[in-house]
Structure 1
Amino acid sequence: MHIEKAILDKVNVWLTPTFDNETHEAIREMMTTAPKELEDSFYKNLEFGTGGMRGIMGVGTNRINKYTLGKNTQGLSDYLKKSFPGEQLKVAIAYDCRHNSNTLAKVVADVFSANGIKVFLFSDMRPTPELSFAVKYLGCHSGIVLTASHNPPEYNGYKVYWQDGGQLVPPQDNEIIQMIEALDYSEIKFEANNDLIEYIDVQLDEAFINSAIENATFNTSASAKENLKIVFTSLHGTSIKLVPDVLAKAGYSDVEIVKEQAEPNGNFPTVKSPNPEEPEALTMALDLAEKTNADIVIGTDPDSDRLGVAVRDTEGKMILLNGNQSMVVMTHFLLQQWKKQGKLTGTEFIGSTIVSTPMMLELASGYDVECKVGLTGFKWIAKFIKDFPNQKFIGGGEESFGFMVGDAVRDKDAVASTLLVCEMAAQAKEKGSSLYQELLQMYVNFGFYKEHLISITKKGIEGANEIKQMMVDLRENPMKEINGQRVVCIEDYQSSKGRDLINNEEFGITIPKSNVLIYYLEDGSKICARPSGTEPKIKFYFSVNCAIESINDVSEAENYLDNKIKNIIAEMRLN
């Protein structure tokens, strides 16, 4: 097979003495036995995106390895020195259960220490939210977590946090990327200064557990906690290190753990995908719930920032809540508790995203708090907390199964959220209700909202062009009517402009630019189109709603809303 000169030039750089013998051997092996793989490993540089870097582990510029991560860390070290001149710089580092996470974390620690930066390195794997907490707790300037979230086993990743415990946001992300790209691999300092590396564990765990209990427990009686039957699975991930301890310390004693999935394992052997968004991932937990007659099932992803929740419906059947449902029940419970404690003063806010359920806005107005809505990703909710220091953050989430309780952690946090869901379920059961009944009552009080997501995969260059064309058509030839309902407003986050089609007025959008388009219909339906930033997909998010008088109206209303979604999809020719 012929390999392009540009790729061979890159390969030859990696055959110089800057790189170790192991790397040289791996490259020579690929040259003779796997030229296609060689090409894929070097044809581009693995991009340091705005949330960090995620990719397949291996040798080459398009892979996660000690050199690509070393270069990131060297660039970040240089940026920290420039940003905080004269200060003793401090960083915290955590890692998850993936293959090589611990060795890569040590490489990252070595490079920081070689640059004279004090490093707090977790002695073993830990949940991502604990890293966000540690950055603030230890007064660090930055933090790194080695994780690829719920990607397949061959992946790993590198997420960067700033002083406030939130992930990088503009303009810092681009400034750091520029410094990384300007570096040569020979400039990476790999020689550790071990005097600057301090291992952390128990003390941080205790502080983090206490913080979760302080933020996510609300006067639930001891008997209510004991009476709640919980099934929990860590899906082979890091949450096993903390969630059982948090639940036990908070007083929840009836917790069954899915034993086959309790052992951390980067191969995730019992699931197709360790993602609680996929119903299949919780199959074993649901089976155990049937055996033990549990009230609630909770599963977390490998780095413990997302959670999936299943509860019993009115017939006693276990059903999975979607991300929007779990978000609204958690937010509503927090608002109720804050109100009960007299903590709502008019300066509080909840957080959501532009592709999540508009029901969050109804909750906010029902409790007279603000709902700040940002782009997809928790870094934007963390940014709200930083940008509005005079307002108090209650909680918030996004439809993709992430939630944040209070502001001690500035990223989605399945540890505190698991505890919060148990508090709700325990209190509901004690008063003869259930978490599901509480959700249905919310639909009566705030409107019945139903959401649906479809992802259309279009692979390769042709696919990318098709996705591009779909967005162009939606922008340049906007639909005037969908399913018999007029389009009343269109928001284009790429041009930062919206148009009110009833009054024919244009308005500005202050949220940072992003390739997202939202159509609003006159009956309150919302359709959002967004190409994925990481996969060859275009995603369409649908939200429809109607008013209901009582819980008895739920199944009829659900059929009505399901049909409405079906008709919208058919009319937009997306099926």
Structure 2
Amino acid sequence: MTEILEKAKLWLTDIFDTHTQEQVKQLITSNPKELEDSFYKNLAFGTGGMRGIMGVGTNRINKYTLGKNTQGIALYLKEKFPDEELKIAIAYDCRNNSKELAYTVANVFSANNINVYIFEDLRPTPELSFAVKKYNCQCGIVLTASHNPPEYNGYKVYWKDGGQLVPPQDGEIIEKINSLTYAQIKFEAKPSYIQKIGIETDSAFVTESVKNASFNTNKATKENLSIVFTALHGTSITLLPKVLEKAGYTQLHIVEEQATPNGNFPTVKSPNPEEPAALEMAIDLANKKNADIVIGTDPDSDRLGIAVRNKEGEIVLLNGNQTMILMTDFLLKNYQEKQGFKGNEFIASTIVSTPMMPKLAEYYGIECKLGLTGFKWIAKMIKDFPNQHFIGGGEESFGFMVGDFVRDKDAITASLLACEIAAQAKAEGKTLLDKLNQLYLKHGLYQEHLISLVKKGISGAQEIKNIMHKLRENPPLDFNGIKTTLIEDYQTSQRKDLTNNTNSALSIPSSNVLIFYLEDGTKIAARPSGTEPKIKFYISVNTTVNTTEQLAIKQNELTKKIQAISAFFNAY
């Protein structure tokens, strides 16, 4: 506690503004637990950039932690691009303080004589990725905490290809940031270096979205699809209605109570389309309007949740893996019919997503590249393999990317793609669930489940560390009697085959992930979240299915298998 107190006292110097000093004094005198959590570490970059609770301290999102990051990036850019005119694109979402923090970031860059293109108002994260490339920027920043609770904010950093930071840039930038003191931050803006962008960029982004996600669906078919859309108080309201209108969809019903951007997210417990409760109001409206499809996006509009009608007319939520499979197969089928595969195409996903993605790639005779969690790794694949053509890809956490004009998950373009699939299915007298079941009959029935255990604060971080240590030191040799045959440890980059007791190397970059493969084809992954105080367990089971009549029986069998495995991890 002495070390934490010394760190806090540094924030009582005149480097920091009076309001910040007063808040720190209050923590020191009356809230030791909050003081400890605010200063026990420096906020670090994770899977999706830097996210944290807003407040004072080194472990909080505030003008000083983000200012120091920005100053470090500014110096790094000057070293990396000494002979280039430096340009940065900046966007921000609906969260409390996002705009103010975005302008703090802009001011620091401008104070370092770096040109800034900042959006005139809140915009979706994928449009920031697009803007980085459109304006030939070396870097981009978006102020967002994605789907985290209202008390959070965050800071995503993009590189010149439009993808988020990956090695070696991330490590080099962190090293530069850590070498600075708060006194070295240049906060005094140079207005001549700051330029607002908006309508022109919007128009270009909308055009590209429609171009990339339209597939010869005729006018009448589009107009026959009834869509309910909720922005969950986020940024998609600025662009998604325009994209759907330009694409020709006329039956769009917006959940008005959730259409106004609001960082407090007053109508939902969590603004996360992964959670069924977030789409309750949209489903209610869909039932009133007899809509065919429900679409909900998270606050910064990179994730989307989809719900569709089943045979009984009830609205059913799709999970991220199911959405990804439907979208990927649709893209591959259309690509095959339109131009045929040349042998250099690929799709992409992550090591914790459904194994059905490689199955699809195998069926179409193309490659499926797998990477760590986070779309920055998919963007890196596109950059690292310029002679290969990326068609599309996603991950289980409700993200998808159509083509490579945006180098991050993109709920705007993916929402249009979902409508194209749904409209064409309806014209055939089918639902998206029918389409999904057809894929299960063709490739095997896959079923996934995610367990997220929240472990907050210092004790929670230690608890997560202990769980991962236990799984490494004493790995389960079976789950409910089903033998473990293979263990992949991405932290040590080792694959251990338990059937013959041999080891081999993993080629994917090091990360704190464990994957267990069982003799019946089950796959179980464990990893601490890179953006939230959680440890996550991903369960994937599969079986063969020969007829439509068998589907319900087989799905019930897989559900029971998942429940049995879940009991093992819920004990933590």
Question: TM-score scaled by structure 2?
Answer: 0.96
Contact 1:482 1:572 in 2 (8 A): no
Gaps (5+ residues) in structure 2? none
- Counterpart residue number, 2:423: 426
Contact 1:50 1:174 in 2 (8 A): no
Determine which of 301, 304, 311 is the counterpart of 2:301.
304
Q: Would you say 1:375 and 2:372 are equivalent positions?
A: yes
Determine which of 351, 358, 361 is the counterpart of 2:358.
361
Gaps (5+ residues) in structure 1? none
Structure 1 residues 338 and 142: CA distance shift in structure 2, 3 A: same
Identity %: 65
Superposition pairs of residues 185-264 of structure 1, within 5 angstroms: 185-264=182-261
**Alignment-mate amino acid for residue 237 of structure 2:** I
Partner deviation per Cα, 1:114-149 (whole Å, 9 max, x = no partner): 111111000000000000011011110000000011
Partner deviation per Cα, 1:503-552 (whole Å, 9 max, x = no partner): 44322100011121112122211111223334443322111111111222
Structure 1 residues 543 and 281: CA distance shift in structure 2, 3 A: same
Contact 2:37 2:457 in 1 (8 A): no
Contact 2:47 2:374 in 1 (8 A): no
Q: Which moved more, 1:91-100 or 1:547-556?
A: 547-556
Partner deviation per Cα, 1:315-355 (whole Å, 9 max, x = no partner): 11100001110110011111111111114211111111111
Structure 1 residue 558: Cα displacement: 0.6
Structure 1 residues 463 and 142: CA distance shift in structure 2, 3 A: closer
- Counterpart residue number, 2:512: 515
Question: TM-score scaled by structure 1?
Answer: 0.96
Structure 1 residues 356 and 316: CA distance shift in structure 2, 3 A: same
Determine which of 118, 123, 140 is the counterpart of 1:121.
118
Contact 2:219 2:248 in 1 (8 A): yes
Which whole-Å CA distance do the structure 1 matches of 2:135 and 2:446 have between them?
A: 42
SS state at 2:110 partner = helix
Partner deviation per Cα, 1:346-392 (whole Å, 9 max, x = no partner): 11111111110000011001111100001111111111001111111
Determine which of 127, 131, 135 is the counterpart of 1:130.
127
Determine which of 163, 169, 179 is the counterpart of 2:176.
179
Structure 1 residue 309: Cα displacement: 0.3
Structure 1 residue 47: Cα displacement: 2.3
Which whole-Å CA distance do the structure 1 matches of 2:181 and 2:443 have between them?
A: 57
Contact 2:522 2:541 in 1 (8 A): yes
- Counterpart residue number, 1:495: 492
Q: Would you say 1:87 and 2:63 are equivalent positions?
A: no
Superposition pairs of residues 143-154 of structure 1, within 5 angstroms: 143-154=140-151
Structure 1 residue 481: Cα displacement: 3.6
Q: Which moved more, 1:334-343 or 1:441-450?
A: 334-343
Partner deviation per Cα, 1:188-220 (whole Å, 9 max, x = no partner): 111111111110001100110111111111000
Structure 1 residue 436: Cα displacement: 1.2
- Counterpart residue number, 1:330: 327
Q: Runs (4+) of structure 1 moved beyond 6 Å?
A: none
Structure 1 residue 63: Cα displacement: 1.9
Which whole-Å CA distance do the structure 2 matches of 1:573 and 1:83 have between them?
A: 47
Determine which of 441, 444, 455 is the counterpart of 1:447.
444
Contact 1:50 1:169 in 2 (8 A): no
Structure 1 residue 25: Cα displacement: 3.5
Partner deviation per Cα, 1:385-412 (whole Å, 9 max, x = no partner): 0111111111111111111111011111
Greater relative CO (CA pairs within 8 A, separation 6+): 2
Structure 1 residues 21 and 540: CA distance shift in structure 2, 3 A: closer
- Counterpart residue number, 2:37: 40
SS state at 2:538 partner = strand
Structure 1 residue 31: Cα displacement: 4.6
Structure 1 residue 178: Cα displacement: 1.0
Q: Which moved more, 1:478-487 or 1:426-435?
A: 478-487
**Alignment-mate amino acid for residue 306 of structure 2:** V
SS state at 2:210 partner = helix
- Counterpart residue number, 1:533: 530
Total equivalences in the alignment? 572
Which whole-Å CA distance do the structure 2 matches of 1:463 and 1:101 have between them?
A: 27
- Counterpart residue number, 1:314: 311
Structure 1 residue 14: Cα displacement: 2.3
Q: Would you say 1:101 and 2:98 are equivalent positions?
A: yes
Structure 1 residue 466: Cα displacement: 4.8
- Counterpart residue number, 1:16: 13
Which whole-Å CA distance do the structure 2 matches of 1:336 and 1:456 have between them?
A: 38
Q: Would you say 1:265 and 2:262 are equivalent positions?
A: yes
Structure 1 residues 67 and 466: CA distance shift in structure 2, 3 A: closer
**Alignment-mate amino acid for residue 359 of structure 2:** E
Structure 1 residues 342 and 454: CA distance shift in structure 2, 3 A: same
SS state at 2:349 partner = strand
